């Protein structure tokens, strides 16, 4: 009798294993089909995407695909390179995909390739391709930018980014950064085509905090005849005198000009209608690569050479 029940148990285990394998195989096959569909859709939009043949992974606990030597580049020239990453369906919501990064990662852009180091970096994307969430800790981008924590939510052409302990070369460090913006239309096959179709970047909110300094900016940027960014916006600055000190320490303002600027911004400060510390409200303009604040030239931006 014991042998009979043992035989039944072995058969049940085999059936369960076979069923689990069938479900896993169907899920990974579906995932591969969705990946191919997404790749075709992005390629039609002007993206360039290459990777080694997908490898099915995760059995028996999850359905996943491993992609080696991934290269994905948008029509604008921005993209991502990954030595290895794994795509896995999210068990709690099969309409989402979890991306696990492994090996060397890099950001590709108009000026080349910038390596990205991280303690943790996670990405969830919707299978319909319309949005997702990126979260990371202790990111180091090219040895020039360090971010303690970052969270970015994107949907369609809109993005909302929050970061803590943001330090980048040439600028004062920020305790917190929050940026909300969107493209007025999706990227085209070329930058010129996007501009001619009315493309623009709308910065709805850009808040930068460090110590007593709070800078809030809103602006709309497009491309001029030379395909260089241009636009106008407004800057609201609390703690303006302290901001002058930080910008002087960062090398943006000459030490000989700092005392005069502190006096000017102190006189220009007004208590906002809702109360609080004095705030300076000034127009900001970027034209012919020159950034001006309150009509005063501040810095000459480098030229962008689009591919």
**Final residue of a domain: which of 122, 156, 190?**
156
Tally of structural domains, the chain: 2
Tell me: do 213 and 76 sit in the same domain. Answer: no
In 3D, which of 45, 58, 36 has the Cα closest to residue 127?
A: 36
Q: Is the link from the previous residue into 36 a cis peptide, with omega within 30 of 0? A: no
Which pLDDT score, from 0 to 100, does residue 24 have?
Answer: 64
- CA dihedral over 150, 151, 155, 159, signed as positive or negative: negative
Tell me: do 144 and 192 sit in the same domain. Answer: no
In 3D, which of 82, 86, 61 has the Cα closest to residue 70?
A: 82
Tell me: do 104 and 209 sit in the same domain. Answer: no
Which pLDDT score, from 0 to 100, does residue 8 have?
Answer: 37
Which pLDDT score, from 0 to 100, does residue 93 have?
Answer: 61
Spatial contact of 262 and 268, defined as CB atoms under 8 Å apart: no
Residue 163 lies in a domain: no
Distance CA 270, CA 306 (A): 42
Q: Which domain holds residue 236?
A: 173-302
**Final residue of a domain: which of 124, 156, 188?**
156
Percent of the chain, pLDDT > 70?
88
Which pLDDT score, from 0 to 100, does residue 270 have?
Answer: 81
Distance CA 169, CA 127 (A): 36
Which pLDDT score, from 0 to 100, does residue 233 have?
Answer: 94
- CA 178 to each of CA 122, 205, 233, 273: distance values in angstroms, whole numbers, following the listed order: 19, 7, 17, 23
**Spans in the chain with pLDDT lower than 50:** 2-19
């Amino acid at each position: 009798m014991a042998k009979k029940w043992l035989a039944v148990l072995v058969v049940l285990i085999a059936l369960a294993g076979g069923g689990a394998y069938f479900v896993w195989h169907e899920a990974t096959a579906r995932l591969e089909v969705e990946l191919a569909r997404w790749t075709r859709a992005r390629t039609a939009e002007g993206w360039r995407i290459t990777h080694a043949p997908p490898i099915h992974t995760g059995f028996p606990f999850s359905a996943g695909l491993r992609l080696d030597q991934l290269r994905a580049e948008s029509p604008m020239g921005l993209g991502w390179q990954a030595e290895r990453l794994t795509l896995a369906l999210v068990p709690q919501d099969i309409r989402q995909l979890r991306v696990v990064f492994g090996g060397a990662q890099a950001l590709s852009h108009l000026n080349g390739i910038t390596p990205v180091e991280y303690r943790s970096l996670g990405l969830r994307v919707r299978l319909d391709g319309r949005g997702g969430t990126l979260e990371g800790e202790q990111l180091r981008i090219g040895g020039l930018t360090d971010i303690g924590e970052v969270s970015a939510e994107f949907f369609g052409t809109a993005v909302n980014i929050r970061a803590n302990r943001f330090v980048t070369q040439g600028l004062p460090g920020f305790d917190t950064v929050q940026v909300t913006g969107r493209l007025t239309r999706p990227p085209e096959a070329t930058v010129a085509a996007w501009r001619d179709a009315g493309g623009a970047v709308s910065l709805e909110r850009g808040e930068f905090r460090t110590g007593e300094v709070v800078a809030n900016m809103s602006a709309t940027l497009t491309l001029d005849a030379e395909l260089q960014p241009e636009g106008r916006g407004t800057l609201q600055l609390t703690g303006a005198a302290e901001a002058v000190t930080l910008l002087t320490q960062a090398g943006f303002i000459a030490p000989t000009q700092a005392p005069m600027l502190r006096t000017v911004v102190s006189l220009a400060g007004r208590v906002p209608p809702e109360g609080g510390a004095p705030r300076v409200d000034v127009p900001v303009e970027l034209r012919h690569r020159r950034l001006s604040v309150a009509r005063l030239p501040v810095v000459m931006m480098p030229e962008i050479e689009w591919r």
